[in-house]
Structure 1
């Protein structure tokens, strides 16, 4: 597993052994960031100077990828101690320690945020209906506002997320990525893609 774009492109990241942590594949991350960089609602300015939240962070690959591509700050939420140790090693290897904050917390009970982030990556374990519950908890705590871009990953064999007007929904192997902005449903014209 490696960072696939930006200033740290090619940097190898560690992942814990076993199946407890399931990092987003390099291919899926590349496709996801291509979408974020080139969509009409995205673009380079979306990531430039962005603050990002990597919830259920695991290895921190999504947040580190965003930092490599121009985000200025990343928050990582992870309650598993083994995953946090791997994450700390990846952050140190990427030399982003001064731009990150790791929170040892349950995403369903997050601390209060100073303000909403630009992009929230929600990548929980599959099959536990954690995306809707996590998004609701993060909204209540102020991490997600009406302009936040939410990028959620679920299993491709799970029921689709019930997002009123997604910006895009795409399958990448065993993963389904759904992207939306919670406060702009009436403005979004992009139909759901499959």
Structure 2
């Protein structure tokens, strides 16, 4: 692909549109592709003004930085892999985003102690793990009333208490917006 370089993604909308985000090689690190991010932010509405977002398993930071670029009030990004966290920190400094908070931690450990409320949560854990159902269970108590959770996975796990309101299949990836039910 012309213009596409290994280990970088482009922010596709908002104030930082066309700025590049770089990331290291990482086991299971797969940034959300442009086409999927475009669909996601169409679902969310292009502008996230006033929204508080949580990007667990932040990885490349593509989702969190994209949300910050689109005027999210605050974006909390959680990543446990040290080299990946270091790249997030470098990108954060380069971009100069004041609405982003980086946390170096295991996502599940962090969720167990977290407080505050979120409007949008991005969950893109390693596919070969059982982290999605664990994270959904823990994040449920951190959601504002109209909050949505965006999740990516290889296959949908059982989702008791959740409804998939929007869904997309892109190759081996299933993704969608989830809402609490009941």
> Which one is further off, 109-118 or 81-90?
109-118
Name 1:179's counterpart in structure 2: 177
Shift of 1:138: 2.6
Name 2:101's counterpart in structure 1: 101
Q: How does 1:79-94 map to 2 (within 5 A)?
A: 79-94=80-95
CA distance in structure 2 between the aligned counterparts of 1:80 and 1:143, rounded to whole angstroms: 24
Name 1:189's counterpart in structure 2: none
CA RMSD of aligned residues (A): 2.0
CA distance in structure 1 between the aligned counterparts of 2:52 and 2:153, rounded to whole angstroms: 23
Name 1:191's counterpart in structure 2: none
Q: Which one has the bigger strand percentage? A: 2
- Offset from partner CA, 1:76-124 (integer Å, 9 cap, x none): 111110110111112122211x222111222112253342111000010
SS of 1:109's equivalent? helix
Give the TM-score, by structure 1 length.
Answer: 0.80
Name 1:12's counterpart in structure 2: 20
Give the TM-score, by structure 2 length.
Answer: 0.85
Q: Is the 8 A contact 2:76 2:101 kept in 1?
A: yes
In structure 2, list runs of 5 or more residues that go unmatched: 1-8
Name 1:192's counterpart in structure 2: none
CA distance in structure 2 between the aligned counterparts of 1:151 and 1:12, rounded to whole angstroms: 22
CA distance in structure 1 between the aligned counterparts of 2:28 and 2:148, rounded to whole angstroms: 27
Of 148, 154, 159, which residue of structure 2 is paired with 1:162? 159
Shift of 1:34: 1.5
CA distance in structure 1 between the aligned counterparts of 2:80 and 2:27, rounded to whole angstroms: 16
